[in-house]
Amino acid sequence: MRYTALLLALLAACSPALNWRTVRSDAHPLQMLLPCKPDSASREVPMVGQTVLLDMQGCEAAGATFAVSHVRLVDPTQAAAALAGWQTATLAQLHAQPSQAQPFAPHLSWALPQAQRLHLAGQRANGQPLQAQAVWFARIGPVGVDIYHALVLADTIDPAVADTFFASLKLP
């Protein structure tokens, strides 16, 4: 029975609706798998008392939204506050409460206490319920600290799909 459940999870993660591809950004060194061709955007946002450039890549597939956002801070001492503030803002935007939190530290990332993976239950702007899984993490680089946020958002999230997405986040 356990093997059947594992096989079903693997098949769901490899569904034809999910055309996984390796994606890189010109703005940061993170490599990821996305299940669809991503759109990219950037804009200035306030973070830890300053205005920073936020760049984002994301797409929609199989009823879910997949997104990765990034900012670069010059001062590494602001990383913990930036991660905590970004988590708070995400929870507020999704009208969500975390149901599970666990440390999240991809290889070569900075293992800060605020680097986490959260499972969220929230609601859309129209009041419809939604689920989300989100991660936040940081990496110190030669010109500051890179702060990352990745998110899967759907009516119902397939855990195998979310695991595939988050496991693919690689820092070279």
Q: What's the pLDDT tens digit per position in 85-99?
A: 999 999 999 999 877
d(CA 89, CA 136): 12
CB 66 within 8 A of CB 19: no
Write out pLDDT tens, residues 35-48.
999 999 999 999 99
Cα 80 to chain center, whole Å? 17
> Could you tell me the pTM of the whole model?
0.88
Average pLDDT for the chain? 89
d(CA 33, CA 25): 12
Beta-carbon contacts of 108 under 8 Å, excluding residues fewer than 6 positions away, are: 139, 171, 172
Confidence of residue 121 (pLDDT cuts 50, 70, 90): very high
- Give the CATH class of 2-167: alpha beta
Look at the block and give the residue holding tokens 């590494």. Answer: 76
